[in-house]
Amino acid sequence: MAFPNDPLDVRTEIQVAGAWTDVTADTYTRDPITIERGTADEASTSEPSKCTLTLNNRSGKYSPRNPLSPYYGLIGRNTPVRVSVPGTEAYLSLDGTTASYARTPDTATLDITGDIDIRVEATADWYAIRSQALIGKWISATNQRSYLLRIENGVLIFNWSATGAATLFASQPLPALPRRAALRATLDVDNGAGGYTVTLYWAASMNGPWTAIGGPLSGTPATSIYASTAPLEVAPIAATGVSPVRGRIHRAEVRSGIGGTVVASPDIRALPPGATGFTDSAGRGWTLAGAASISNRQYRFTGEISSWPPRWDVSGADVWVPIEAAGVTRKMGQGKKPFDSTLRRRIPSDPNLLAYWPMEDGSEATAAASPITGGRPLNTTGLEFGADDSLGGSSALPKLQTVASLAGTVPRSTRVGWQVEFVYYLPALPPVQTEIMRVKVAGSVMATAVVYASVSGIRVEARDADDAVIQFVLFTSPPAVAAFAGAWNRLAIYTADAGSGKTNLLARWLDVSSNIYYYAYTQFAAAMGAATGVSASWGSATEGMALGHLAVFDVPAASALPTAPPGSLVFSGADDGFNGESALSRLARLSSEEAATVDLSWTTGDTSYPSELLGPQRPATLLALLDAIADADGGIMHENRDRLGLTYRDRSSLYNQPTAIALSYTAKGEVPPPLEPVEDDQRVRNDVTITREGGSSGRSVVTDGPLSVQPPPAGVGLYDESVTLNLFSDGRAGQIAAWRTHLGTWDEARYPVITMWLHAAPHLTARVLAMDVGDRLAISNPPAWLPPGLIDQHIRGYTEVLGQFEWSLALNCTPAGPWEVGVVGDPVLGRVDTDGSKLAAPASATDTTLSVATTISSPWVTDPAEFPFEVRLGGEVVNVRSISGTSSPQSFYVDRARNGVAKSHTAGTDVRLATPTIVAL
């Protein structure tokens, strides 16, 4: 990085015909490039990133409708653009496709059959749902499998094969990893106890120190590794069901033996950008393929140009285009219709679907439409459409009136076997056997299958062409019969091949909330046939029953067992809107379902704090659904700067995180002006009510302390807030309310803007390039007129200015203190604070014995094993070496002025732990 004497190497590129095109020469330096990312405060909802720059358009090159432009027809609305600066080292860029990899040919030294040690240092989406291969010798199709290190959905997996065909593996869930980290696997093929042992590790870099992930994983018998002919690849491309890694590889190693001889060591860091091949220190020659490239560019913004407004001066000599590009959320937030219900979205994805009627039609409907191309409507009578909106996975469904019916035609399938399924809510069981649903069948002795229900049992019948009963079963188990009504259920009527020319006819009803199911079945000697129609006629006994999402599949049960589930399980989870799904699981599902719309990754923190459980996913836009996840979980949704997409930092990733940017106020150029703390009420919330969507609420009120609801000077008065969140449990509402009042009454000045000038402090470049939204920043040695100790903040967003000789960032910050949560057994974060204590006598600035009285809680600890610890009184932090006395007042033996403050204190001065335990949400 050539600062401050040489101009900054800022590169601007636009995507033309699918290829990135360098337009830096046409980017005016008279107008600096300005980038905005993240949010201005603690808002969790995503805001579009923005980038403004100016292009020289004297030639008309950047006028999309100019036929003389070389880009005519190739640029326009939503043309991708990216801005980068050079980093401090090179890396191998991989796009995650099978055309993007680095490879060295097979050789004898790579054919390790005994102990192995494999390592890789990368920047990747560690928790993405994709299975991503990192490094290995592995070709599945030809049974040339040796060893493979990969990640999948937050799990580190080491695979190996002793035969080239059969696969063995060991895996461990990943801990909270930084964006750049090193992973390692060792295999001891013969551990001396008749088996093998795999140990998995992680580290901040391949320099170590290595931390074991979980414990060693052992199995029997002893093993070996097959000497395959597969090449060694970074981002292996031929592992079945496994995609190559997407991200950046910094270096890797393969060692023969644990800690043994290095046989491959691709180290990209010092390679020249643009190199297409290299030889590593172990003598292996590497080549790149496809989109794989060696680069040192660090991307500061990736977005889309929504408009190309031409501008010129009066003379026409100066013509330019002021570009304002935005991240993906700008487009996501414009003109998007809400998603359909989860059932309506999920059911059509089943390839075995023949007919489907959601029955979510409007209140004036007289028939139920089919979303299947060419599908006929479902004819209905006596249905009150749009009458029941209580099922989490559906929009409003119809209710049956006193007399009602439906009839629908199903296209004849050439396959045998079928399944009919729908959701329903039957308020009470009829007193006599009453028809629930019937299925018309062709190609079988059974012409009709019918399910009846009454207080006496659930009856399943197989009828012939003359409507005579062939076989039936009356299922009378009291729990099963009772479960048929009084809750939202899913009823599946389906067939199974019982063998020897026999067919099982089954009915299976499942409570969509509890997933508890019951089944009844009968058997007859004939083929399964194919479903060709559905119908039902209802009377007063079923009045008020709600039903919908009637679907027909041409698939039988996979097994002849009576307990076998239906052949299609597409309803599962979607029926209650995935109620109870975790925030990260919902993000994973949505990013999978909407892969063409949003590229989503996430950063996971301490796995001992699981992400928030959510309520049902109701119809809404994708952006609204993503924001609802962040609001409920309390994390940060922001835009990725390396590619078009979003990144989510879950709440636990903000707890107790290490400092990413450590600055000193007294170091030259590290903290330029202005550094202006603000004592205002922008963040104050001392009375918070949280309501669960469709449920009850919880309230938290802070009645004591400087930011409490008490009138000044005891507090600040009332600052109330009411928020509705998509939560799974009513019990969480009060807990989240308490957490929000904790954040909203944190008594510390905030620093809304902290400025950094990299042109004045280029030594900070590497740290800034690695920094991202949500990271922690600390400033030591503050000036004497500010409170002593660290200025400890979280970065919520920033404005970045890239000029010819200027590179500055204005960081939007909030205090990090409230996110320092308790850790059981930790000598600092594991201590519970006093409920109330104060000085029983005045103390001078030099006294090393303090008399402390407890006002509410029990006396302070005296066990020598509990010392030392720090307490705060009157702005001074002191180190407590020991305490004597078992009743109030007690004597504290202390070291003074641990934070640089030495002062006298009056009797009655409040005494508290300097770092009290905060219970995490």
Q: Is the pLDDT of residue 44 over 70?
A: no
| pTM of this structure | 0.91
Q: Is the residue at 5 inside a domain?
A: no
Q: Structure tokens of 299?
A: 């991307």
Q: Of 545, 576, 607, which residue constitutes the final position of a domain?
A: 576
Residue 1's pLDDT is what?
45
Encoded amino acid at 140, one letter: S
Q: How many domains does the chain have?
A: 6
Measure the CA dihedral 843/845/846/850, to 10°. Answer: 30
Per-residue pLDDT at 12: 97
Nearest CA-CA partner of 685 in 735, 723, 628, 731: 723
Element (H, E) at 344: helix 342-346
Tens digits of residue pLDDT in 71-119: 999 999 999 999 999 999 999 999 999 999 999 999 999 999 999 999 9
Residue by residue, DSSP assigns 713-741 as TTS----EEEEEE-BS-THHHHHHHHHHH
Residue type, 836: G
Whose CA is closest to 157, among 122, 191, 187, 189?
A: 187
Spell out the residues 6+ positions from residue 359 whose beta carbon is closer than 8 angstroms to its own: 368, 378, 383, 385, 397, 398, 547, 548, 549, 550
**Residue 242: predicted pLDDT:** 94
CA distances from 885 to 13, 350, 841, 856, 872 (A): 71, 73, 15, 17, 20
- Collapse the DSSP code of 24 into the 3-class scheme (helix H, G, I; strand E, B; otherwise coil) and give the result: helix
- Give the list of residues 6+ apart from residue 908 with CB closer than 8 angstroms, or none: 838, 839
Q: Average pLDDT, stretch 876-901?
A: 94
Of 576, 599, 634, the last residue of a domain is 576
456 and 398 assigned to the same domain: yes
> What pLDDT score does 5 carry?
55
| Distance, CA of 716 to CA of 679 (rounded, Å) | 12
Sequence letter at residue 441: V
Q: Which two tokens stand for residue 633?
A: 């979980």
Name the percent of the chain in helix, strand, coil, to the closest 5: 10, 40, 50
For residues 898-906, give the mean pLDDT. Answer: 92
Residue 2: pLDDT over 50: no
User: For position 45, what pLDDT does the model report?
Assistant: 66
Same domain, 266 and 125: yes
In a domain, 825, yes or no: no
Which residue in 465, 427, 679 sits closest to 541, CA to CA?
427
Q: Predicted confidence band at 609 (pLDDT cuts at 50, 70, 90)?
A: confident
Give the three-state DSSP class for 109. helix
Mean pLDDT of 749-777: 92
8 A C-beta contact, residue 798 and residue 37: yes
The pLDDT-based confidence of 665 (bands split at 50, 70, 90) is: very high
Burial class (CB in 10 A: 0-12, 13-18, 19+), 605: buried
Most confident of 526-530, 595-599, 831-835: 526-530
DSSP letter string over 634-691? T-EEEE-SSSSSEEEE-GGGGTTPPEEEEEETTSTTTSPSPB--B--STT---EEEEE
CA–CA dist 347, 231 (Å, integer) = 42
828 within some domain: no
The answer to whether residue 830 sits within a structural domain is no
The SS3 assignment for 585 reads helix
* Span 363-367, average pLDDT: 93
Q: Are residues 357 and 473 in the same domain?
A: yes
pLDDT at 564: 87
Q: Coil, helix or strand for 443?
A: coil
Q: What is the DSSP letter of 711?
A: P
Q: Same domain for 736 and 669? A: yes
% of the chain with per-residue pLDDT over 70: 99
The CA distance from 118 to 687, in Å, is 54
* Strands 277-279 vs 211-212: parallel, antiparallel or unpaired: unpaired
Q: Residue 208: count other Cβ atoms within 10 Å of its Cβ.
A: 12
Distance CA 608, CA 595 (A): 29
SS3 call for 565: coil
Q: Which structural domain, as residue segments, surrounds residue 621? A: 583-653
3-state secondary structure 140-201: CCCCEEEEEEEEECCEEEEEECCCCCCCEEEEEECCCCCCEEEEEEEEECCCCCCCEEEEEE
Of the candidates 774, 818, 769, the residue with the CA atom closest to the CA atom of residue 796: 774
CA distances from residue 623 to 302, 329, 333 in whole angstroms, order as listed: 19, 7, 6
Q: How many beta carbons lie within 10 A of that of residue 633, not counting itself?
A: 28
- Whether residue 21 contacts residue 14, with contact meaning beta carbons closer than 8 Å, is answered with yes
Rounded to whole angstroms, the Cα distance separating 613 from 303 reads 32
Return the structure tokens found at 424: 């329903």
pLDDT, mean of residues 414-438: 97
The label of the residue with tokens 């949560």 reads 821
Residue 1 included in any domain: no
Residue 824 inside a domain? The answer is: no
List the one residue out of 221, 218, 215 whose CA is nearest residue 201. Answer: 215
Residues 588 and 572 in one domain: no
795 and 707 in a common domain: yes
Same domain, yes or no, for 426 and 307?
A: no
Residue among 656, 406, 243, 430 at smallest CA distance from 397:
406
Q: Which residues contact 553 (CB under 8 A, 6 or more apart)?
A: 350, 352, 353, 354, 418, 419, 420, 421, 566, 567, 568
Cα distance between residue 253 and residue 271, in whole Å: 16
Query: What HEC string does 596-624 produce?
Result: CCCCEEEECCCCCCCCCEECCCCCCCHHH
Q: Is the peptide bond preceding residue 105 cis, with omega within 30 degrees of 0? A: no
Q: Is the per-residue pLDDT at 235 higher than 90?
A: yes
pLDDT digits (tens, 9 = 90+) for 161-203: 999 999 999 999 999 898 999 999 999 999 999 999 999 999 9
Quick count: other Cβ atoms within 10 Å of Cβ 73?
Answer: 10
Kindly tell me the burial class for residue 373, based on how many C-beta atoms sit within 10 Å of its own C-beta (0-12, 13-18, 19 or more): exposed
Q: Are residues 688 and 808 in the same domain?
A: yes
Q: Please report which residue ranges of 443-531 form alpha helices under DSSP H.
A: 478-483
Residues 760 and 677 in one domain: yes
| Gyration radius (Cα) of the chain, Å | 33
Residue after which a domain boundary falls, among 608, 638, 653: 653
The reported pLDDT for the residue numbered 563 is 85
Q: Where are the beta strands (DSSP E) in 174-292?
A: 180-188, 196-203, 211-212, 217-219, 232-234, 243-244, 246-256, 261-264, 277-279, 285-289
| DSSP code at position 346 | H
Give me the pLDDT at residue 856, please: 83
CATH number at residue 464: 2.60.120.200
Is residue 377, in this structure, part of any structural domain at all?
yes
Do 569 and 611 lie in one domain? The reply is: no
Residue 58 has pLDDT above 60, yes or no: yes
Task: Give the position of tokens 């507090």.
Answer: 715
Pairwise CA distance, residues 674 & 808, whole Å: 13
Of the candidates 876, 781, 867, 756, the residue with the CA atom closest to the CA atom of residue 3:
756
8-state DSSP, 761:
-
What is the distance between the alpha carbons of residues 278 and 103, in angstroms, rounded to a whole number? Answer: 10
Query: 49 with 195, same domain?
Result: no
Quote the tokens at residue 46: 């995503």
What's the whole-number mean pLDDT along residues 690-700?
Answer: 96
Is there a domain that residue 821 lies in? Answer: no
Judged against a pLDDT cut of 90, whether residue 680 lies above it is answered with no
The 10s digit of each residue's pLDDT in 124-160 is 999 887 899 999 999 999 999 999 999 998 899 999 9
DSSP characters for 59-101? Answer: TSTT-TT-TTSTTTTT--TTEEEEEEEEEEEEEEEEESSTT-E
Structure tokens, 561: 């067992």
Eight-class DSSP state of 342: H
Specify whether 370 is located in the same domain as 499: yes
Burial class (CB in 10 A: 0-12, 13-18, 19+), 89: middle
Q: What is the mean pLDDT of the chain?
A: 94
> How do 293-305 and 319-326 pair as beta strands?
antiparallel
**Which has the higher per-residue pLDDT, 430 or 314?**
430
CA distance 834 to 871: 10
**Strand 131-139 versus strand 243-244 pairing type:** parallel
